[in-house]
Chains A and B, each alone.
Chain A
C-alpha cells in the first residue's frame, strides 16, 4: 500500500450552477475596475457586459 498523498491547485473560487453567470458582474467588481473580456464573435450578439 502506497502512502497517501494528495495535491490540488485550484482557483480561489469555483462556482457551479445554472444561472450563476448573473453573478459575474458583481464578482468582477470585487476584484477589479477595468475588465477586459476575451471572447469570440459567437458570444457577442447575445452577451452584454454588465455595468
Chain B
C-alpha cells in the first residue's frame, strides 16, 4: 500500500485549494481517496475523486446530477459531528471568484465507505461542537419536515433529493432523539464519550436522512447569509431554524408533534407543535448559537437582498413544506434579523 498525505485542506474549501490538491497529487495516481476531518476535508476528497476521474473544472459540475459517471472510491472519516458528509451525495465548495458557496450533488459523490469513530471528535472545542451539532440538528428537522413529492417512477432518477419519505424519516428521528439527549452535554463536557457517541450517531443519521430527502428554507437562506457575514454554515442554519419552523408550523403540526414525542414532550399535536419550536430555540440558546441575523453581522439593508438570493436556491425552496414566495421569504428574514419570531406565528 502506498500513501500520500495532502494536509493543506482549508476550512470551507476554496476552489483553488481543490485544484491545488489535484495538481499536487495527480502524479501519485491514487486509486482510492480518503477524507479525514470535518466536512471540508471529506468534501475535498469527494471533489478530488471527481476531478481525477473526469477532469475539467469543478464549475462544470455545479448543481444536480452533472457528474457524468462513477469516480474513484472515497473513504470518509468525520472528525466533527457534523455535516454527515461521510454519507451524503453532496460537496460544498467556496467559489471565491464569485464570492459564494456552491453545492455539487450527485449520487456518484456518495463515499464508498464511511467510518465514524466518535473518539475522533473528543478534541472538538465547545464552539465547533455546538456549530457542527447544530448543523446536524437542522439536517434532521429539515429532512423530516421536507415536502413530500408526487411519487413517479422517475422521481429518484431525475432528482438527487426526493423529499420526505418513510426511510429517511427513521434516520431523522434517530438523529433528533440523540441530539436532544447529548448536544448540551457534548458542548459543556467535551470529554464525555457517551455524549460524543450519541452526537456522532446523530450526525451520521441526519446525513442519511437529508442525503435522500434534502434540506429546505433554512439552508436556502444560510447561503447568502454565509456569503455576506462569513459565519460558519452550522451557525447560520441553526439560527434560522426556529424562524423557519414558526413559518412552517401550520403545515407541519403532525410532523412537529411526532418529533416532540420522540424527544419526550407531551401534549396534543397542536400544543406539541408549539413546544417543539421552543425546545429547539432553547437548545440553540444553551449551546451559544446567536439568536438574530443582526448579531451574526448581516447589515440591516441586506435583509431583502438575502431573501431574494435565497429564492434563487429553487431546489431548497421547493423542498420546503409550506409554500414559499418572495414575500414569505422576506418575512422570515426580517423576523430572523430582529429576533421577532412571534411575527411569523399563525
Contact = CB atoms under 8 A, between A and B. Distances in A.
Contacts of A44: 5, 7
A39 to B, nearest CB: 5
Contact of B1 (A15, A28, A38): A28
A40 B9 contact: yes
A13 to B, nearest CB: 5
A47 B36 contact: yes
Given A20-B116, A31-B32, A14 B4 contact: no
The 8 closest A-B pairs by CB, nearest first: A32-B32, A6-B167, A36-B30, A49-B3, A32-B31, A21-B117, A38-B45, A38-B44
Contact of A41 (B7, B89, B110): B7
A1 B79 CA distance: 41
Contacts of A43: 7, 36-37, 41, 79
Given A14-B208, A37-B3, A39-B7, 10 more contacts: A12-B113, A14-B87, A16-B201, A19-B119, A31-B73, A35-B31, A36-B45, A38-B48, A40-B11, A41-B7
B141 interface: no
Given A4-B166, A37-B6, A32 B40 contact: no
Contacts of A6: 165-168
Interface of B: 1-11, 21, 25, 28-37, 40-41, 44-45, 48, 73, 75-77, 79, 86-87, 89, 107, 110-120, 148, 151, 155-156, 162, 165-168, 171, 193, 197, 200-201, 204, 208, 211-213
User: Max chain B CB contacts within 10 Å: which of A4, A25, A36, A40?
Assistant: A36
A23 B167 CA distance: 28
A8 B168 contact: yes
Contacts of B213: 7
Contact of A21 (B35, B40, B77): B77
Contact of B193 (A18, A23, A35): A18
Contact of A38 (B36, B110, B151): B36
B91 to A, nearest CB: 12
A7 to B, nearest CB: 5
A18 B117 contact: yes
A24 B48 contact: no
Nearest to A13: B113
User: Max chain B CB contacts within 10 Å: which of A3, A16, A38, A49?
Assistant: A38
Nearest to B162: A7
A5 B41 contact: no
A15 B114 contact: yes
A8 B212 CA distance: 5
Given A33-B2, A49-B3, A9 B211 contact: yes
Contacts of A8: 167-168, 171, 208, 211-212
B48 A36 contact: yes
A2 B213 CA distance: 16
B117 A28 contact: no
A24 to B, nearest CB: 6
Contact of B34 (A19, A24, A33, A41): A24
Nearest to A12: B112
A44 B41 CA distance: 13
Given A10-B87, A18-B197, A40-B9, A35 B2 contact: yes
A28 B116 CA distance: 15
Given A11-B112, A11-B113, A51 B41 contact: no
Contacts of A50: 1
A21 B75 CA distance: 11
A11 B41 contact: no
A9 B244 CA distance: 27
Contacts of B118: 17-18
